[in-house]
Amino acid sequence: MGPITRKRFKLYLNPRIYKAFRLLCQQKGEKRVNRIIECFMAACLNNSTIIYLVKNLVREIEPDIFSELPRSNRKLGKLRKIEQELEELLEKAE
């Protein structure tokens, strides 16, 4: 079997959790976080109950980790921010 070819994927992660996990991996001597994630995914393929175990463990630590604003709410928030910035610019121009 030859070398494994890898493909780039786009994942959206909580930056605070990612940084903490990256530091933990570095402390354990692991240089590539993506390889650890890949090992986790392979383990889940062999035993899918790992997914439920991890989800339940995380809910105890950070209960709202799986809640996310709907896209429409996020866009509305961005629009409000832009509106506020425009109002500030208009006030400065007067």
Domain-located, residue 51: yes
Q: Tell me which of 29-38, 49-58, 84-93 is least confident.
A: 84-93
Answer yes or no: is 6 within a domain.
no
pLDDT at position 63 is: 62
Residue 12 pLDDT grade (very low, low, confident, very high; cuts 50, 70, 90): confident
Domain that holds residue 87: 15-93
Residue with tokens 């240089």: 31
In a domain, 21, yes or no: yes
Supply the pLDDT for residue 67. 64
Please determine, for residue 18, whether its predicted confidence score (pLDDT) is greater than 70: yes
In a domain, 78, yes or no: yes
Cβ burial 25-38 (10 Å sphere, 16+ → b, else e): beeeeeeeeeebee
Q: Is residue 5 part of a domain?
A: no
Question: What is the Cα–Cα distance from 67 to 72, expressed in whole angstroms?
Answer: 15
Alpha helices in the chain (DSSP H): 15-27, 33-46, 49-61, 71-93
Q: Could you give the number of structural domains in the chain?
A: 1
Kind plus residue range of the DSSP H or E element containing 62: none
Evaluate whether residue 57 is within a structural domain. yes
pTM assigned to the model: 0.57
Residue 65 host element (H or E)? none
The answer to whether residue 3 sits within a structural domain is: no
Lowest mean pLDDT among 4-13, 16-25, 29-38, 65-74: 65-74
